[in-house]
Each structure stands twice: as C-alpha cells, then as structure tokens.
Structure 1
Amino acid sequence: MRICLDLTSGSGCRHANPNTAKRCQQCGRPLRNVLELHDPGTLVQHYRIERVLGHGGFGAVYQAEDTRRGSFVALKETFDPANIRRFQREFDVVKSLSHPNLPYYFEAFEDPDGGSGYLAMEFIPGHDLKERLNQQPGTPLPEREVLGYAYQLCEALEHLHRQSPPVIHRDIKPDNILITKDTRVLKLVDFGLVKQMGAGPTSQIALTPPYAPPEQWGGGTDERSDIYSLGATLYHLLTAQVPPVFHQRTEKTPLTPPCHLNPALSPRVSEAVMRAMELRREDRFASVREFRLAMLDTPFLVGGLSPIPVATPSRSTHPHSPFPTVPSVPTVQEPPAPPRWSPSSPRPGTTTPPPPPHGKGPVLALWWGCWCCWSPSRGERSGG
C-alpha cells in the first residue's frame, strides 16, 4: 500500500492506495510524498506481515506472525533515523522488565536494505481506556471500576520505579492503558518516552500536555512525574473531563476537585487525586505506594468486593510470555504491603488461553503517540 501524505489539506490525506497508483484515489494529487507499507505475506526477517493495524507520518504498526515461535506479535516500523534510535533505546530500557501489567518486548532491529527500524513486542487484543470513556461520552466511569484500574497501574509503576536505576514512563494517559479482551488485565504501554533516572534531562520535549507535569516541559522528571500523570489520568476517568494543562491552573482558576465534577465520588479518592496533581512535585505523594494506599484504603474494598469484574487470573495471551497470573484487587482491611510477584512462582489453578484468533477480534497496537498521528484502520479499535 502507498499512504498519501500530501499535507495540502492540513493534516494530510492519508488515503491507502494500491502500490501501482501514481495519483491518490482520494485527493487526486500525485503520490510524491508517500508512506510505503508492507503488504500481507511480506517477510521482515522472521516476521510475516498479517495486516496493518495503524500508521502515521513516521511509520506503521502491523500484526505479524513470528515464524520461529509460531505466534503473533505487534511489529512497529519507523522510517525516521531518530525514531530508529528511540526504538533501540526503548528496547534497551524495558527488555528486562517482567511484570503482568507491562508488555513483553522481543527485539529491536534495523533492516539494512530498507532503512527501516523495527520493534517487536507482545500482541495485545483489547481496547484502551480512552475507548472505554468514549463508550459513554461525558459520563464518568464508576469509582469502583477506576479503583481497580488504579490498583493495577500502581502495581506496574511500583515495579518500574523499583528498578536500579528507576524507570520513568513519562507518558501515562488513557490512550496508553490497554484492557486485555478476555482477562481484563491492564497493560501500561508505549514506552517511547521512557527514561532511566540518572540519565540527565532530555534535550527533546515530547509529552502529552493535559497529563504532563510542569517539570516535564523542562525535560527534568523523576518518579513523582509519573504520579502526576497517573493522577491526571484518574482525574479524566473519574470526571469524564480532560484535565487542564498545568499553565491553565492559576489562583483565579485552580484545579476543580474531582468530587465537585462527580458528586458520586468519595472525598478520599478526590483528595488523593488532587494531591497527586500538585504543581510542585514536593507537594505530591513521595511514592506510588503512598498514592495507592491513600486511594485504596476505602470502604469500596472492604468486605471482599473487587473494584472491577476480573476474569479468572490467567497467563499472558502470548504463548511465550513468561508472566504468571495477575492478581485481582485484594480485600483491604489495613493498608496492604505491596504484593510480590515472582516469575518462577505462578499461581495455582491457572490456565493458558489460546493465542488470539488469526486476523479476528479487536486489536490494539502499541504506538508512539507523541511523535505520530494515529490513523487506525476501520474497525480495529472497537471496544470489547
């Protein structure tokens, strides 16, 4: 396929044309600035392309079959030299991370003939939290449901921040949080902006404004920056309103407490989210665990109630992923110590679901949203 990237119309045409087309079938302009996509059946090393999941100005995401493992992967491709370097950096940081709420990365490589860079990772059927919000536009998600999401996200972030040096995600937002189709386990994805503490401020400012803390605009971030972004994400889920960019918050127009926008919300959760979104990082929670305990020590979790309906815990949908079972939210009588997950100790009674059906079902690709304009194929991001 040849994707028209003519920018005369502003955001670009982005129509998919046959490989033999000289002019765009949509806008009629000559196909001079195009994005060449792999056709189904094309082999990229040992990955056989199945279909295009999405594309943007600098690359594409495919569902591909790993012919060595006999399973599906999400294969990201970029044509931009700077993004090729980012792919390798992203892989180097996250390749050793093993956690049920994080995607599994297989490899990063460069095609010497085509000049493209590739990143192969776990293929995750499901939908993201932005789509979950869009199922009922303008309606906040139930607090119990959001607390279930918050628990899993805190688990993922605590794991990242426990690394040596700590790993900072730097792009937490509803779009980058996937709900797996069958198990309803969350996956925090898109590590394109990931940073290891001690690496120094980044010279490139890449962020998603409503969810980015003030310090990220200057390139300097730490664990508390992720706490702000997580708080902003929960603010969006609990109020159905995109949080304001930090510079829009002044003494005359302060951040509206979530419970003022959603009267059904408990004051305790509202106050925890507000503290997480403090403009001065010194005023936020000192750790994700502290934030988690402030939210989850609530009546909603007493008496054995789980904040969200979670399917029987199971292993990752990828047959070669090393992850054990994912815990549902526990009953909380006293502030809990963070659960310990051991790759060598899977929980009893678990089963491994079959790989996703060939070419069927809703699918989410892992995408680098800050750098590319996401353009999903029709029907690919339907909620499940």
Structure 2
Amino acid sequence: MSDTKRHILIMSSWFPTRVDPYAGNFVERFAHLLSDTYEVTVLHTMGDKNCSSIEVDDQQTDNLRIIRIYHHISKNRFIHWWLQRKALRKGLGMLDHIDLIFAHVFLPRAMQFARVQRYFHVPLIVMEHGSYYRKKLIKSFISLHQQVIKRGSRHTSEIVAVSNVLRTDMKPVFPTTKIQVVPNFVDEDLFTLRETNPVHRTKFIHISTLDKNTKNPGFLFDGFLNAYLESGKKVSLTVVSDQDTDEWERWAKLNSCREAINFIGPCEWEEVSQLLREHDALILTSEYETFSIVIAEAWLTGTPIISTPVGIAANMTEALGIRIEHNNIADLKHAILDMMNGKFQFDKEFLRAFGMQFSKESVKKQLIELFNKHFIIYE
C-alpha cells in the first residue's frame, strides 16, 4: 500500500452487513471504485440481536479495508445509543491518519458522521441518496430528524445529491446551502451493450424491492396484466427482487398470469447486466426515486425503459423510453403494447452513449475533483 495515497474514510447509514447483506451495496461499490486511486477504509457499526458483546469484522483487500463493528441491540434508547458509541470508539481506535470522510445518507447516522469529523478534524463530504426529502414525507418529518440532519450538516464541508430531483427536494431543509450533484455510477465494463435491438419488444423486466410505499408494485402488476390480456398473452415479465415475492406470486396465480411472470431472487451485478441484455425493456413504476440505478444500468446496456417521471427518468426524452403517469394503468398498458407493436424505435448505441454520463470513470473523475478541492482547503 502506497504511503503517498490519500486516505479516505467511508461511512454510511446503510451498508451491507451479516444482518442485511444487501442494504447500501451501492456504498460498497463506491468504496471499491475509489480504492483504485486512494487508500480507502469503510467503518460501519451495526446492532445485532444475536451479539452479546462487541464483535469486529476487519477485512483488507489491496487498498480497501472494511471494518464492521457489531454490538448488542437494546430496547432502551439510551443504552442502545451508548452501545453504538462504544462500537464507534472501538472502530476509531483501529484507525490512524485520515485525510477525508466520505459519508452517505444523513439519516440516521448524521451525528455519528459529525463525531468522526470532530475526531479527525478533516473534511466531511456527505452524499445523500435518501428518499425522506420528498414532498409526501417532508411534511411529516419529525423535528428530531430535522435537527439531526441540520446539526450533522454543520460539520459537513459539502453536501452532494445524487440527482437534480433530490437536490430540489432537499432545498426546504437546506435553503441556503449550495448542493452539488454527483450521480451514482454503473460499471460500464460490466454493463456492456446488448447484441440485439428488437423492433417488437415483448420481454419486459422489473428490478426493485417491490416496496409498496415507493415502488408501487400493484400498479406494475395491474398494468402488465391488462397488456398481457390485450396482447393475446404475447408479452412476459421478469421480476427481480431481493425481498419476499410470495404475495405477488399468489396474485399472479389468482389472475391466471403466473406463466407470464418469472420471479427471480437477489442477483449480483453481473447477473443484472445479463438479464437486462436478455430483455427488451425495463419497467419502473415507482412513486419516487432519488436516482434509480437500474435505469442507468438499462441505458448502458442499450435497453429502453418504461417509467414514471422519477429520478433520472424525470425529464427523459422519447429517445430513451416511454414516460407514464403515476398509477395510470391504461398508460402503462399502452406503453407495453406500443413497444410490442414497434410503435417506438430505440437506438441502442444512443442509449448507451447517454448512459455513459453515469459510468464509473465519469463519476470517479467528478469525485476526485471534489475531493481535491477540499484537500487544498484543509492544507
């Protein structure tokens, strides 16, 4: 490991652990991305009901070190807070010099980020991915959450949003703060261009947690069912989810379309890339997205999308896919049928070229420029 490399500490409110191996996996990808240029350490504390004492999971691969500190979960808030602080102290004791803290998602760890910033006295950059700023939720934001975010932000050198949509929604909380946009990234070497560019698109794919509060799966399945029946059962849907799909599998059987819907469990990034290339279009029916990485992944493979106006698809043109209204079943049905009938044609090369703004090299370049600015300020 080179002594000349800057040392970046990554922290996050979400990160893969033995408790939840999929939470915040995009943050782990950022760690791997940056480890090509910097020495990177991830420090993450996690409550585990099966843990009776502090447990340390310390893994090192080349320039990347991931430290997970597990602690007991207490029903008493004060005791739980104390256990979390104890776990954090343990982790901090394992670290030496840090040049910059790159944190992700303010809630619920904003004060933890601030504490570590005070400990090392280095720049703290927070990249926000959270959906709790959306108008539907911001009104019910309890004052404690707002206080946590604002107090944490006082120790933050810069706040970064992953999309223009999120930056706009963050303004009520940060009315005078300049927020830069740096997107999530996709590995362009992994999400390669599809070989086919079908005129008639019949194989559709949906990738999400199927969370009813944000992903709106009921709208997805109702719209698909209508298109399936009207098409003479000529379209199919693959659903990829890392959450339980039993409810929707029962729904498919009840509505006599189980043979047209294939449910797949959690997939690695390599598998997602292959699945996108094997399907004709991605369908997204979310109520809200701060970014939606699956859209960028689809575009990089040359796959068009059908989507509600969310995340990076909020203002997309017809060259990228078909926008549909929220909860408009007829709109979704017609979009599927229009793709099946070849009403819209999509240039796979154009889709990939547009998606390259979310490539790992493009995003890494933006982050390096951002970090360098703060290295200079603190020197």
Shorter-chain TM range is: under 0.3
TM-score by length of 2: 0.26
TM-score by length of 1: 0.25
**Structure having the larger proportion of residues in helix:** 2
